A and B are shown apart, each in its own frame.
Chain A
Amino acid sequence: MFFQSLGSLWFALSLPAIALLYMLKRTYIDTPISSHLLWNRVLKEQEANRPWQKLRRSLLLLLQLAAALLLVLALMEPGWWRSAAAEGHVVLVIDRSASMTGPASGQDGKPSGETKLEAAKSSALQWVDEQMGSRTTVSIITTGSEPSIAALRERDKSKLEQAIGDLQPAFGESDGTAAVSLADALLREEKEGSVIVVTDRDWSDAASAEQLKLQSPITMMAIADAVSTEGAAVAAFGVKSDPAKSGTQIAVVTLRNDGKKPAVLGADIYADDSKKPIATATANVQPGEWESVTVPGLPEADVYKAQMSKPDERYTADDALFRFPASTEQKQALLVTRGNLFLDKALQLAGIKTVIANPETYEPGEKAAQTVDWIVLDGIQDEELKSKAWQQLLAAKPIWRFIAQAPVGSESVQPKNGSIQIVEHPVTRYLSFEDIHIAKLVQQPNVTWGEAIVTFGGIPAVYAGQEGGRPMLLFAFDLHDSDLPLRPEFPVLVVQAADWMGGSAKSQLGEAVSGSQIDIDFSPNAASASWELIESAPGMKRYAEASPLKQPEANGGIVSPNQTVPDVPGLYRLKEQDAKGALVSERMLHVTADPREFASADSSRLLTLKQASAADGAGSKQPLAGSSDAAGMDRQTADSLIRWIALLLLAIIALEWGVYRRGRAI
């Protein structure tokens, strides 16, 4: 046995109250009269001749009938429909992740022609229009890499409608968990409130969102995904120069079939801004599988694009990938060393042309400044390179240092143990540094330009960072004091370090996820920079046109090296201008949407959110009665009338008491 509403136990207080009433009941006052004769007539007149007429005048009977009727009514558990969430503070969490750009399902399950985001917007607008009470305050939180508050405690419907109308999809990483927990936090201090999540339930972080312990009642306004059988994407695209045939490029296109049945997928490859494809890659791909196609013999170009020949029915943002060919020209590094064969060989293996310079004899000239891309200082103290030519060279180029002995003001330390901590960084990618030994490390007290990416025995061993847009790398030990060069990981480390050092020389900016932050090394004389959209990803043109392009941040004539990538996927050009407005350089950036958003939706991945059960926290709010997170959203919720009936019943008992005191007759 269980009780659904223990709070109603308060009504039990009526029992002693009734008993008290009867204790206080006044008896009839004995009043002698001469004769009943006339009174009998009076009362007989009031009595009726027929059975039902007797009922007519008995107020007590009527009241008891009413009480019984109310009991029956209460057992029928009546409710009163009212608009859902008509009170309190309602937080609308609107999912605008890249998956929301997919087609939405209409009423009949067929694609309605609008995107899920548009459907979500119209659902939210409809909610604001129909169900927002006059005393409701509404906040709107949108998902994104960080949740953003589009409206806070707003009562004005027009402002809310505008805020909803202005929503644009966020193609980058989408942190829905943060948005939901922010919404919950907004309601933490509210007495009444609820969260409504407008989403397609296809969240990349669904698992962590489900772990949330939410205090507020939460409702899902699900936007149905149009069921489409055909979905395809260019999963990967790579271009490199053909070693067999110089002057031509070879491309590898990986096609993915997100559909339910095998399909012949085709991808057209475009070079630069050609209107016609220069080649086509086709493959027969099984559902859920990947297939790679190699396309040789492509002409040289600055940028290549692989685009699905047939537009995708599901998501179009992943239908095209841009690639910049690997730079053909070989990098040149100035290796300032007293002799380090391991490093020299490893650099050459990494495709770096090394110029070995002995600091005692070599003096850099004008030619070195032009040909050398970056400098390796292998155990060379700064004091040894004091000449003006060296200083100029060192100030202009990226530097990779190996510290052999402690300079003045710092000391060499022997690490106590061999524990390794690695921070994720392009240099340390794929490396574990397992079992390496470093005999001696030099502590670097004042490295301001970067962070320690490898720590050995609690002492920072490798620093990486940028100084004035130049990549910098610092190894706080001499390679001779370590067995690192003997390890198989060493060539990999050198290749990645060389990539990192040579990054500044990249002709293009590469690829970045929408909305993320990237480090851009601007030219020293660049005073301003601007983004320019070359080509948006298929189907993304309307989003690109809808919102103005966010331009790089510049502060006092210096362009910040840390920049936010444009939102809408596509190919962008970054133009740098000097103080006079002359073009300094042009580089291209390929902005992609978060690929996780387009992974084929698995039903087990669909998001479910629920309020933490009342036992978890005493302060949790009760959900609105009858709220449902079924498909769509219940327009109304029910207010139980049982309490009111109970109150009415008590009122009738009170009235009955009054009648009983006054007498049975009316």
Chain B
Amino acid sequence: MNGSSSGGKPNQQSHGMHTDPLLDPSTIRLLERLSVSAKGRIRGTMQGKRRSRSLGSSLEFADFRPYVPGDDIRRIDWNVYGRSGRAFVRQYWDEQELQVHLMVDVSRSMSFDSQASLVGEPDHPARASAAAAAHHAANKLYYALQLAASVGYTALAGEDRVSAKLFANSVTGELPPLRGRGSARRLFHFLTDAWQTNRQAQEGTAAAGSDDMYNAFMSPSSLPRLAGQTWLFTDGLYAEGMERVLSALIGARQEVVFVHLLSPAELRPDLNGELRLIDSELKTGKDVALGTSVIESYLRALKQHQSDIRTLCGKCGAGYLFVDTGIPLEQTLHSIFRAAGFLRG
């Protein structure tokens, strides 16, 4: 354990990353005690720790079956043969690994940093301090990557297979399935890279992201091939396509966990006066004179949006987790992931 935790950190440093490690040691220690829970029996490919729906070689008894030639004679229950004179073979549930797919939305709206991107106003007093301070504290993307790292590490530590995908307009990055705790380094590297890339891309002008979530899932390659559990980290700020994405994932035999991240700036906008609101993805502006009534109706719309997604997830049998990125990560893992039962410890 100690080795793996220290394994992630120096690697990042050795790669010359300027950011902090995604997860600090205390979080990793916490995660080691947890495992990713899956609802039903899993149908994997490789031996794992999870009960599978297929019969196999675990210690968990499943059934008896009359012996047929060709069966492993080590499986004959000799006690039964002694009493009945007929050979029966003991069958056990197979234990297979769980395929955990982490899908992180890296569209502009996710990486949007309300404080760091006050580019329109160079004199903005908040800017200087914000740049120096932990500017990613409430960044949704960073938070999503942290969460993905947590879930991924938990899965790896639980000997499950973990793969990761980044998507915006389309799938922009993919991490092939990893196994074993030792692969955690690669996962972390991939996710940290994603953060770095995204930050660089953000400084450019290219807009990434669209109003239709399904854009990213149109190609079959973007969907996981193997049945398993898909964690979808997104802010849900899509006008459409969410339902189709969910049904596509479920059609790909995925158990979907929808992690809905919203930053405090979105949850509790502290805006006032006459503002030209610029969409981070579309780069279009909207002149709004903000007053309490406008903020109130915004909050109503937000609540409506949130409950829409929750209802949608409920209909599709997907899990729904709502995360306020203003809350510290450990607290989120504790209070939301564990309490909701998606991580078990």
Interface residues of A, Cβ cutoff 8 Å to B: 26-43, 45-46, 661-666
Contact = CB atoms under 8 A, between A and B. Distances in A.
B297 A31 contact: no
Instruction: In the A-B complex, list the 10 residue pairs whose CB atoms are closest, starting with the nearest.
Output: A663-B289, A30-B120, A28-B276, A34-B112, A35-B237, A41-B301, A34-B109, A36-B279, A31-B275, A35-B109
Interface in B197-254: 211, 235, 237-239
Nearest to B283: A32
B302 to A, nearest CB: 6
A37 B237 contact: yes
Contacts of B62: none
B281 to A, nearest CB: 6
- Chain B CB within 10 Å — which of A31, A40, A666 has the most? A31
Contact of B112 (A28, A32, A40, A664): A32
B118 interface: yes
B186 to A, nearest CB: 30
Given A45-B301, A665-B289, A29 B121 contact: yes
Contacts of A665: 289, 294
B263 interface: yes
Contacts of A40: 286
Contacts of B110: 34
Interface of B: 108-110, 112, 114, 117-121, 140, 211, 235, 237-239, 263, 265-266, 269, 271, 273-282, 284-291, 293-294, 297-298, 301-302, 304-305
A39 B274 contact: no
Contacts of A34: 108-110, 112, 114, 140, 235, 237, 263, 265-266, 280
Contacts of B263: 34
A35 B294 contact: no
B171 to A, nearest CB: 20
Contacts of B108: 34
Nearest to B266: A34
Nearest to B276: A28
Contact of A661 (B274, B282, B305): B274
B238 A36 contact: no
8 contacts: A28-B276, A31-B275, A34-B140, A37-B238, A41-B305, A42-B298, A42-B301, A662-B289
Given A28-B287, A34-B235, A39-B288, A46 B297 contact: yes
A38 B305 contact: yes
A203 to B, nearest CB: 72
Contacts, number: 111
Majority SS at the chain A contact face: mixed
A33 B288 CA distance: 12
B305 A29 contact: no
A663 B288 contact: yes
A43 B288 contact: yes
Contacts of A662: 274, 289, 291
Contact of B298 (A28, A30, A35, A38): A38
Given A31-B278, A36-B282, A662-B289, 9 more contacts: A32-B112, A32-B120, A32-B277, A32-B279, A33-B278, A33-B280, A34-B112, A36-B286, A661-B274
A30 B274 contact: no
Contacts of A43: 286, 288
A528 B3 CA distance: 148
Given A37-B238, A39-B286, A45-B297, A28 B275 contact: yes
Contact of A30 (B140, B278, B282, B289): B278
A665 B275 CA distance: 13
Nearest to B108: A34
Nearest to A35: B237
Contact of B280 (A35, A661, A666): A35
B241 to A, nearest CB: 12
A39 B265 CA distance: 13
A29 B276 CA distance: 6
A340 B284 CA distance: 132
Given A32-B119, A32-B120, A664 B301 contact: no
Contacts of A35: 109, 112, 235, 237, 279-281
A403 to B, nearest CB: 109
B237 A33 contact: no
B291 to A, nearest CB: 8
Contacts of B287: 28, 663
B110 to A, nearest CB: 8
A285 B278 CA distance: 107
Given A28-B275, A34-B237, A39 B298 contact: yes
B277 A31 contact: yes
A33 B302 CA distance: 14
B289 A42 contact: no
B175 to A, nearest CB: 25
A39 B109 CA distance: 14
A43 B300 CA distance: 12
B140 to A, nearest CB: 8
